[in-house]
Amino acid sequence: MLRRVFTPYLLIQILILLLVLACAGQWGNRGDEQEQKQVREQEQEQEQVREQEQEQEQEQKQEQEQEQKQEQEQVREQEQEQVREQEQEQEQVREQEQVREQEQEQEQEQEQEQEQVREQEQKKFGRRTDHTSAVKKYCRKIAKKFYYWGWGHSYCQNFQWLHVRNSVLGDPLMWVVFGDEKAHRKTPKNATMVLCSIHGDELTPAKFCFDLMVDLARNFPRFKEQLVIIAPIVNPDSFFKRKPTRTNRRGVDINRNFPTKDWKIAALKLWRTRYHSDPRRFPGKHSLSEPETLFMVNLIKRYRPGKIIQVHAPLTHIDYDGPGDTLNQKALPVNQLLISMSTNAKGYRIKNYPYFPGSLGNWAGNERQIPTYTLELPSSDNRRSKEFWQTFQKAMHTAILFPVLD
Ligand SMILES: [Zn+2]
C-alpha cells in the first residue's frame, strides 16, 4: 500500500515541490536582504544628507563669525579714525591758539611801539603847558569827537595853537604854524595855508588837516624851510553839532560870505535865482558878516601865503582858482602843481569848477591872485578818512614843497 502511495512519480513530484519551496524560501530571503540593503542605503544617504547639512551649518557659522570679525574690525578702524580726527582737531586748535598768542604778542608790541612814538612826539612837540584854558577845553572837545567818529587820538594837546577870535558859539578859531614865522616876516618863505572844514558837515576834511599836522610834526626836518599854516576846523559850531550842517551857527554859508567885489550885486541875487533861496547856500545878509569868514580873511592877510589849499568833500576833484586860471595856461607852475597833485593821487580828477560871489576861490584866487587849490575829497564818510589821507599824503607833500613865489 505504501508502495502504491509513494510511487516514483509522486516522489518526483514531492521532490520538485520541495525544490520549489526551497527556491521560494531562498527568494524570500533574498527579498529581505534587498530590503535591508535599501534601508541601509537610505540610512546612509540620510546620514550623508545630515553630514552635508552639518557641514553647511558649520560653513554658515564660520561665515557669520568671519562677518562678525570683519564688522568688529571695521568698528575698530572707525574708532581709530575718529581718534585720529580728534587728535588732528586738537592739533589744529593748538596751532590756532599759538597763532592767536603770537598775534596778541605782536599787538602788544605794536601798542608799545605806538606808545613810544607818542612819547617821542610829545618830546618833539615840546608838549605845551601854556595852553589857554579855552584851548585846553576845546582840545578835550576835539578828542571826544575824534573818538566818537572812530579816529583815535587827535594829538590836539601836542600842537602849539594860536587863536584870536571865537566862533558864534564861543569855540576858539585856532590854527597851527609849522616853520619859522619870524623869518618869514622878514623874508617871505614858501608859505602854504591849508583850511579844512569850512563846511561843518564835511567831516573827512577836518581829520585830513589833523593827519597833515601829525605828518608834518613827524617829518618836520623835510619841511623845515617851508611855512605851513593849518586851520583844521574853520567852522566848529556846525562841525560839533549832533547832526553837522554846512552853514554856520547863524545859517550862513561862510564860503559865500567873503567880501568879493561882486558880492553886493550878485551874491544874494544868485542865491535867490539859481539856488532858489536854498538855506544851505545863504551868503549872509552882507559880506564878511561872520566871525569864521573874518578869521580866514585875517589869516590870509597876516601870512600872505604863496598858495592856499582848502579841503572839502564830496565832489571828488581838484579845482584851481588864481593866476592862469582863466587863460588855462598849462605851462604855468601853478598849473603844473595842479597836475602833479593829481598825478600823485592816482590821477585824481582835475575840474575847472566856477567860483562864486563871496567864495574863497573868488576872493583869494581870482581877486588877490593867490593860487588857491580846492581839494574835494570823495566822501564825508568819517570811516574813510584814513583811505583819503593815504591817497593824498604825497600830493600834499608835493604841494607844500612846491615854490610859488612872485
Ligand atoms: Zn565844502
Instruction: Say whether pLDDT at 227 is over 60.
Output: yes
CA atoms of 52 and 242, how far apart (whole Å): 99
Domain assignment present for residue 172? The answer is yes
Domain assignment present for residue 389? The answer is yes
pLDDT tens digits for 84-108? 999 999 999 999 999 999 999 998 9
pLDDT band at 75 (very low <50, low <70, confident <90, very high): very high
pLDDT band at 121 (very low <50, low <70, confident <90, very high): low
Query: The domain that contains 182 carries what CATH number?
Result: 3.40.630.10
Exposed e or buried b per residue across 217-254, where buried means at least 16 C-beta atoms within 10 angstroms of its C-beta: beeeeebeebbbbbbbbbbbbbbbeeebbbbbbbebbb
Instruction: Say whether pLDDT at 131 is over 90.
Output: no
pLDDT tens digits for 18-71? 887 776 666 656 667 888 888 899 999 999 999 999 999 999 999 999 999 999
User: Which pLDDT score, from 0 to 100, does residue 66 have?
Assistant: 93
The pLDDT mean for the chain works out to 89
User: Which has more confidence, 114 or 111?
Assistant: 111
Domain assignment present for residue 55? The answer is no
Domain assignment present for residue 92? The answer is no
User: Which pLDDT score, from 0 to 100, does residue 85 have?
Assistant: 95
Domain assignment present for residue 5? The answer is no
User: Which pLDDT score, from 0 to 100, does residue 120 have?
Assistant: 65
Domain assignment present for residue 279? The answer is yes
How far away, in angstroms, is 198 Cα from ligand 1 center?
6
How far away, in angstroms, is 193 Cα from ligand 1 center?
17
How far away, in angstroms, is 2 Cα from ligand 1 center?
173
User: Which pLDDT score, from 0 to 100, does residue 23 have?
Assistant: 62
Domain assignment present for residue 165? The answer is yes
Across the range 108-136, mean pLDDT stands at 72
Domain range enclosing 257: 132-401
Across the range 257-283, mean pLDDT stands at 95
User: Which pLDDT score, from 0 to 100, does residue 314 have?
Assistant: 95
How far away, in angstroms, is 38 Cα from ligand 1 center?
124
pLDDT band at 333 (very low <50, low <70, confident <90, very high): confident
Nearest to 172 by CA among 139, 205, 130: 139
How far away, in angstroms, is 235 Cα from ligand 1 center?
11
Domains identified in the chain, total number: 1
Across the range 270-276, mean pLDDT stands at 93
Sheet holding 372-376, edge to edge: 161-166, 172-178, 227-231, 191-196, 307-312, 372-376, 317-321
How far away, in angstroms, is 335 Cα from ligand 1 center?
22
How far away, in angstroms, is 329 Cα from ligand 1 center?
26
User: Which pLDDT score, from 0 to 100, does residue 16 have?
Assistant: 83
Across the range 318-341, mean pLDDT stands at 78
Question: How many percent of the chain have pLDDT more than 90?
Answer: 71
Q: Are 342 and 399 in contact (CB under 8 A)?
A: no
Q: Are 137 and 167 in contact (CB under 8 A)?
A: no
How far away, in angstroms, is 109 Cα from ligand 1 center?
40
How far away, in angstroms, is 315 Cα from ligand 1 center?
9
Across the range 171-184, mean pLDDT stands at 93
User: Which pLDDT score, from 0 to 100, does residue 112 have?
Assistant: 85
User: Which has more confidence, 270 or 27?
Assistant: 270
CA atoms of 186 and 184, how far apart (whole Å): 5
Instruction: Say whether pLDDT at 288 is over 60.
Output: yes
Instruction: Say whether pLDDT at 393 is over 70.
Output: yes
For residue 316, what is its C-alpha cell?
571828488
User: Which pLDDT score, from 0 to 100, does residue 331 have?
Assistant: 58
How far away, in angstroms, is 152 Cα from ligand 1 center?
24
Domain assignment present for residue 20? The answer is no
User: Which has more confidence, 27 or 389?
Assistant: 389
Across the range 182-204, mean pLDDT stands at 92
Question: How many percent of the chain have pLDDT more than 70?
Answer: 91
User: Which has more confidence, 123 or 217?
Assistant: 217
User: Which pLDDT score, from 0 to 100, does residue 280 have?
Assistant: 93
Across the range 277-300, mean pLDDT stands at 96
Q: Are 296 and 232 in contact (CB under 8 A)?
A: no
Instruction: Say whether pLDDT at 118 is over 70.
Output: no
User: Which pLDDT score, from 0 to 100, does residue 327 have?
Assistant: 55
User: Which pLDDT score, from 0 to 100, does residue 290 have?
Assistant: 97
How far away, in angstroms, is 398 Cα from ligand 1 center?
23
Instruction: Say whether pLDDT at 17 is over 90.
Output: no
User: Which pLDDT score, from 0 to 100, does residue 35 have?
Assistant: 86
